[in-house]
C-alpha cells in the first residue's frame, strides 16, 4: 500500500494500537495559535508548548499531528522540538529540575550541588524519581551567572542554591 498521500493522522497508533489523537482542547488551542501568524509554521513552538502543557511532554504522535495541522514536515517539527531544551520528548516528572552546568555555576559549587541532588533524589541526570515527583536535567547558562549555583524548577529560577538549602527548596514542590 502506498502511503505517499496518506495523512499522518491515519498512520499513527499508540503502543496499545489505538489511533493517536490530540485532545479537543489541544487541537483548539493550536488552531487558535495558528491564527496569530501569517504562516502556520510559525506556530510550531506554540503548538509544542500546548501539547506539553497538557501531557508534560511531547509524544511522537503529537509531532506528526502538529506537522499536519501546521502544514509542515514532521522532521521540521522535530527540529524545533529538539532546538528548545525545555520541550521534553520523553516523559518527565511533575517537577523538572534544570541545573545550570555552565562555567559560572561550575565555579560556584555546581559539582557539590549536583551530587547532593542526585543523592537526595536517588536518581541520575536524565532520570525521574519512582514517585514521578522530580526529573533531573543539566542545562546551559540560565543567565544569572553572578548568583550561582542556579537551577530552575519548572518555570521558577532559584539562585545561590547549595546542598545546605536544598531540602528546604525541594519541599516547595510536593
Interacting residue ranges for ligand FES, rule: CB under 6 A: 100, 102-105, 141-145, 148, 150
100 conformational bin, left if phi > 0, alpha if psi -120 to 50, beta if neither: beta
Closest by Cα among 122, 149, 150, 147 to 134: 122
| Min CB(133)–ligand FES separation in Å | 24
Q: Distance between CA atoms of 52 and 88, rounded to whole angstroms?
A: 8
Query: Is the Cβ of residue 34 or residue 151 nearer to ligand FES in the bound state?
Result: 151
85-95 burial, b if ≥16 CB within 10 A, otherwise e? eebbbeebbeb
Residue nearest to ligand FES (CB): 104
| Min CB(173)–ligand FES separation in Å | 20
| Min CB(103)–ligand FES separation in Å | 6
| Residue 55, number of CB atoms within 10 A of its CB | 16
Q: For 123-166, where are the E strands, in sequence order? A: 134-139, 151-153, 156-158
| Min CB(98)–ligand FES separation in Å | 11
Query: Is the Cβ of residue 61 or residue 148 nearer to ligand FES in the bound state?
Result: 148
Query: Is the Cβ of residue 14 or residue 160 nearer to ligand FES in the bound state?
Result: 160
Query: Is the Cβ of residue 93 or residue 148 nearer to ligand FES in the bound state?
Result: 148
Amino acid at each position: 500500500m502506498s502511503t505517499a498521500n496518506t495523512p499522518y493522522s491515519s498512520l499513527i497508533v499508540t503502543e496499545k494500537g489505538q489511533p493517536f489523537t490530540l485532545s479537543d482542547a489541544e487541537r483548539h488551542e493550536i488552531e487558535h495559535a495558528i491564527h496569530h501568524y501569517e504562516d502556520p509554521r510559525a506556530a510550531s513552538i506554540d503548538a509544542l508548548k500546548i501539547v506539553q502543557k497538557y501531557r508534560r511532554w511531547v509524544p511522537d504522535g503529537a509531532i506528526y499531528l502538529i506537522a499536519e495541522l501546521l502544514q509542515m514536515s514532521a522532521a521540521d517539527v522535530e527540529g524545533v522540538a529538539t532546538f528548545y531544551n525545555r520541550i521534553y520528548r520523553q516523559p518527565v516528572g511533575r517537577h523538572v529540575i534544570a541545573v545550570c552546568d555552565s562555567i559560572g555555576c561550575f565555579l560556584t559549587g555546581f559539582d557539590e550541588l549536583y551530587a547532593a541532588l542526585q543523592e537526595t533524589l536517588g536518581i541520575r541526570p536524565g532520570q525521574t524519581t519512582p514517585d514521578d515527583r522530580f526529573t533531573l536535567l543539566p542545562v546551559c547558562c540560565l543567565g544569572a551567572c553572578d548568583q550561582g549555583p542556579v537551577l530552575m524548577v519548572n518555570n521558577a529560577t532559584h539562585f545561590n542554591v547549595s546542598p545546605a538549602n536544598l531540602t528546604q527548596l525541594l519541599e516547595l514542590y510536593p
